[in-house]
Amino acid sequence: MKIRLRYILILIGVSVLGLASCRKDSTIVFNPEDPYYKDYKFNTLAGQWDYIWHVMDNQYVFWDIDSTDWDALYNKLYVRFDNLDKLIESFYMDCQNDIIPYPDFVDSTETVISDFLDSDFSQALGTLADQHMHIKFYNLYAGQSHSFWTSSVRLVKRSDYHPSVTHSVAVKDNPDYSGIDYIYDGIVRNYNVEPHFESSDDESLWAYSCILEDGIVYMRTGACQLSDPEKESDIHGAVYLFLKGIMDMNDEGTLNGIVLDFRGNTGGNAKDLKYLPGMFIDMPFYLCKQRTKKGLGRYDYTQWKHITVKPYDDDDYRIDIGNTPFVVLQDMHSASLGELTGYAFSHCMPTAVTIGERSMGATGMLMPTYPDVYHAGTANYNGDVSIYTSTFDSRYYNRENGCWESFEGIGFEPDIYCPLDYDALVAGGRDTQLDRAVEYIKQQIGD
């Protein structure tokens, strides 16, 4: 109680001191490779914030569309972090003087940092457009990292918000089931599923496929690594059955529909766009235009470059499904390539639609940051203090108004909106969004 009371009183004082600090001049171009910052004292939270602020100031690709007052945030948050440093130092002195035991000291430092990042820091940075953004601070005393995701701030504010039904969430909600078994049981319970079914147990890279009733081929995957040779073996069974089911039933004339379930898909390898939907198209498709940074100034942008989705290289593996309905399921947890795939399918295939909810809005793509090539994207100090942000700003063509638009922080609206009844799914495996996909397919084939 004594520690907590002191923490509250000092944080009240932080608000009063908020205007007392002044930051380094933001017009100075900051290079993370500069020796000054390589030797910077990253043992303080204020020092870590100074590093993160300058990296963002120079490497963030969305300054021309982002309304966040980044200059004002330096002053405001530097003072808050500096006072947190002083508070943690006071805990440390109490521990050194045997006023509090070491475990309590560690717990106290973890608590004050987490509380600040989850409240005032999240509120301050929650307006940033980049939904890929991940910032990591390091608590030197406890040897623990603390993370912040911009996407988590925006998602919970949605009126139709629901938890992500993924491998890990399913385990948390139903300890008796793995995520795959949990969702699969619901599918088996509510549909006439043919017996062949494959999946992997990888927490981040799980996939499974089956043949639903009435000639509908279904696959769900948690990440886009379907075409990655190093990852292919983990999910080969599910992908193989999905594609084999489509090709065999298409040849037999029994294929009535396809459902590609990318709900909760967090993205991955951009090569998957050539794999899916590349296997289903015979003409190149302009997906978007992109630019990155050519220098470290806020508005030092490269020229726009068009990004094209091309047909799969091997004609033997391209599939002509004719007028067969193709549904991509998406939800608010579909992110990055997990949301771009649905957008690509619905724009390059006349029979494809997206069903579900507005996606997350992490539409800028990422690459490893090489200082001599890219001046945007990720940066870190010894792996302990880091900022993970988009390398490219992507704009997509709006066919209705004829304009190129950014969907970063907004997300793609589905062609057919259908909210998830999360309670029904958890209680009995009834998936309202999958139900709507099957209903749509039956409507299209006149069943």
Mapped onto helix, strand or coil, the DSSP state of residue 414 is coil
Tokens of 101: 């035991």
- Residue 12: partners with Cβ closer than 8 Å, 6 or more residues away: none
Query: Treating both helix axes as pointing N-terminal to C-terminal, what angle do 2-16 and 70-96 enclose, rounded to 10 degrees?
Result: 150
Q: Tell me, what's the pLDDT at 168?
A: 41
Q: Tell me, what's the pLDDT at 296?
A: 83
Q: Tell me, what's the pLDDT at 374?
A: 63
**Degrees, nearest 5: CA angle 309-378-32:** 140
Domain 167-282+318-363+407-444 falls in which CATH fold? 2-enoyl-CoA Hydratase; Chain A, domain 1 (3.90.226)
- Residue 213: partners with Cβ closer than 8 Å, 6 or more residues away: 191, 192, 193, 438
Q: Tell me, what's the pLDDT at 152?
A: 84
Read off the DSSP letter of residue 30. Answer: -
Strands 257-261 and 216-221: parallel
Q: Tell me, what's the pLDDT at 86?
A: 93
CA distance readout (Å), 420 to 87, 137, 257, 262, 432: 44, 35, 21, 14, 6
- Residue 169: partners with Cβ closer than 8 Å, 6 or more residues away: 163, 179
- Residue 125: partners with Cβ closer than 8 Å, 6 or more residues away: 68, 73, 133, 135, 148, 150, 153
Mapped onto helix, strand or coil, the DSSP state of residue 415 is coil
CA distance 268 to 266: 7
**Degrees, nearest 5: CA angle 328-329-331:** 135
Domain extents in the chain:
2-155, 167-282+318-363+407-444
Mapped onto helix, strand or coil, the DSSP state of residue 47 is helix
Mapped onto helix, strand or coil, the DSSP state of residue 228 is coil
Q: What string of pLDDT tens digits covers the 447 residues of the chain?
A: 333 333 333 332 333 333 233 333 333 344 445 555 455 567 789 999 998 999 899 999 999 999 999 999 999 999 999 999 999 989 988 988 989 898 898 899 999 999 999 999 998 998 899 999 999 998 877 778 888 888 888 898 899 998 887 644 443 445 554 444 555 556 666 676 664 455 555 555 667 778 887 899 998 888 887 765 444 444 566 777 888 889 999 999 999 999 999 998 988 877 788 788 888 988 898 899 999 998 888 999 999 999 998 888 777 778 899 999 999 999 999 999 999 999 999 999 999 999 999 999 999 887 765 555 567 888 877 778 888 889 999 999 887 888 999 999 999 999 999 999 888 877 767 789 999 999 999 999 987
CA distance 242 to 258: 9
Strands 416-417 and 352-356: parallel
Query: Treating both helix axes as pointing N-terminal to C-terminal, what angle do 2-16 and 102-116 enclose, rounded to 10 degrees?
Result: 30
Do the beta carbons of residue 199 and residue 188 sit within 8 Å?
no
